[in-house]
Amino acid sequence: MWKGTTWGPNFQAFEVFEECSRSIKAVCRSIVPELSFDAGSSTRPFFQRSNMIITVSGPHGTGKSTYAARLAEVLRIRHVSAGAVFRRIAKERKISLEELGKTALEDPSVDKLVDKRTIAEADKGSVVVDGQLAGWLLKDRADLRIYLTAPEDVRLERIAKRDKVSFQEARAQTEQRESVQRERYLRHYGFQIEDRSIYHLILDTSLGSIGDTAKVLVSAAVMVRRAKKARRKSTKP
């Protein structure tokens, strides 16, 4: 269906992230006509009735929050960022993310607090949750688990631009942060964060446009919704 896209048993795909001017609404309206994008429309978005839970995970700089927010906007469901919760805790404690990460390595209550808030939001349904652990944390709840990836240099360039630091600073900060996170997740959760075996959809966000990536994400969500609906019908007496 999409050139350069590979769908395997877990319908894995490899696509892109880069900013472009194409309208996400126009792209996704062409894929999913039943979605309403016009202000004041009397048609309720069908995803609000489907109780969809979608997770978006991946390393820093792959576009987790950006894609999760856009996906939630198009599908008209909520967006929750576990990373934003973690950053909020760091701000409340008046320490850096790196310092909070080191604290969390020795104090599992930090991650437990983030997990508790994330699960509470997921249990409300109709939500896109992004975060390093979102797929693992909501493995038994999520209808669609997405993992985003990108080459290291691309990720570091994005992080440097986002944080307004040099490429070298972005590399040092990211390497330190990811090293602590790997140890923390293995110690507190007992798994390797690099393990992608639980994900339904894997996308490399360095290859194409945000519009093409949106097509993959929305189409995957539609497919999962329809399959979920079909299963419900088949179990009815």
Q: Report the length, in residues, of the chain.
A: 237
| pTM of this prediction exceeds 0.85 | no
**Among candidate residues 183, 39, 201, 197, the one with its CA nearest the CA of residue 111:** 183
| Blockwise average pLDDT, block size 10, the chain, 237 residues | 41 37 47 45 43 93 90 90 86 88 88 89 93 93 95 95 94 90 88 89 88 84 87 77
C-alpha to C-alpha distance for 18 and 1, rounded to whole angstroms:
21
Q: For residue 178, give both structure tokens.
A: 């990811």
Backbone angles phi, psi at 148, to 5 degrees: -100, 145
- Please report, for residues 5, 13, 14, 110, 204, the alpha-carbon distance to residue 8 in angstroms, rounded to integers and kept in the order given: 10, 8, 11, 37, 15
Q: Where are the domains of the chain?
A: 46-229
Fold entry, domain 46-229: Rossmann fold (3.40.50)
Q: Report the pLDDT value the prediction gives residue 161, as an integer from 0 to 100.
A: 94
Classify 108 in phi/psi space as left (phi over 0), alpha (psi -120 to 50) or beta: alpha
